Copies of this chain bind each other. A is one copy, B any other.
């Protein structure tokens, strides 16, 4: 199944959003069924679904569920969607795709209501729009794969951090997309997978995906990256993004910034792969991107098991910001962008074949 799926057994009947439960991988393959927008929001907050594109699509589907639940009276309908959107946006602050998807759904609803559409018609529009956003994500990932694959040479060692694969999207992935495309063309890549503490997305999700895709990989702890770079085993680094500022600064999973410095110190290209829905042209630089602080218990515990003494303080910034000067290129569905990033990102956003700018 896809990472995020819309399930409506009967047209016009009750619907659910189905998610692969990413907190239980790789040892259990379970599905979370969300029957309303609150359940989708909780699934996002608890990281049962994670990855910027995937939580954007999930939030869009959550808004569609909210539309199905909203009262018929137009003002009440709009107010219900407004509250649902605020709840969904509030679940995780860093990835802009979440707000992007909610806003897109709200505007679509507002346009339908303003045009005098009856509530059921607006509901149908929103359900269709959520599914369209999912399909756009699929198409964007395939295009990222095609634009990114030529950057990798046969036999390259490629290091990736966190999970920017199929599980971070609807399918196929962002950072893993060029690797999948190159692999399909016989590139014979070898991927180093950072385990990515504290949530272990690399160990649990990326290793699982690469194994299923038949792509050769080696799992390492995050602190081994520099060692393998120094030994000449890593030719490229590629990561995803949770938000890209107008100047090209990249917010991504904690550890990305350090990795970018290490790549630069070893003369290794550092690529970021993300759909244009991850670009936030309203934020001038990384300094303006909110960094989510999660529960320190996720640091003092590993998979529920305490590893630090009781009472010790821990910090848990979930993301960091990599300045644009460390980024060799940004691979979007509109093409590969190189510095200076601001003009390139604006052009990509304008030229993006799908998903950007926000439709009315």
Contact = CB atoms under 8 A, between A and B. Distances in A.
Of the candidates A211, A225, A308, the one having the most CB atoms from chain B within 10 angstroms of its own CB is A308
Contact of A258 (B262, B308, B315): B262
Contacts of A195: 197, 299, 307-308
Contacts of A204: 307-309
A311 B218 CA distance: 11
Interface string A301-322: 0110111110111110100110
B222 A223 contact: yes
A305 B305 contact: yes
Interface in A192-240: 194-198, 200, 203-204, 207-208, 211, 217-228, 230
A27 interface: yes
Given A227-B320, A300-B203, A217 B254 contact: no
Contacts of A76: none
A125 interface: no
Contact-residue size bin, chain A (C-beta under 8 Å from the other chain): 35 or more
A56 interface: no
A188 interface: no
A348 B136 CA distance: 65
A261 interface: yes
A85 interface: no
Interface string A90-114: 0000000000000000000000000
Interchain residue pairs A-B with the least CB separation, the first 5? A223-B255, A226-B258, A26-B309, A197-B221, A219-B314
Given A195-B197, A224-B255, 14 more contacts: A194-B223, A197-B222, A204-B308, A207-B312, A211-B309, A217-B313, A219-B300, A221-B222, A221-B255, A222-B223, A223-B254, A223-B259, A224-B254, A226-B258
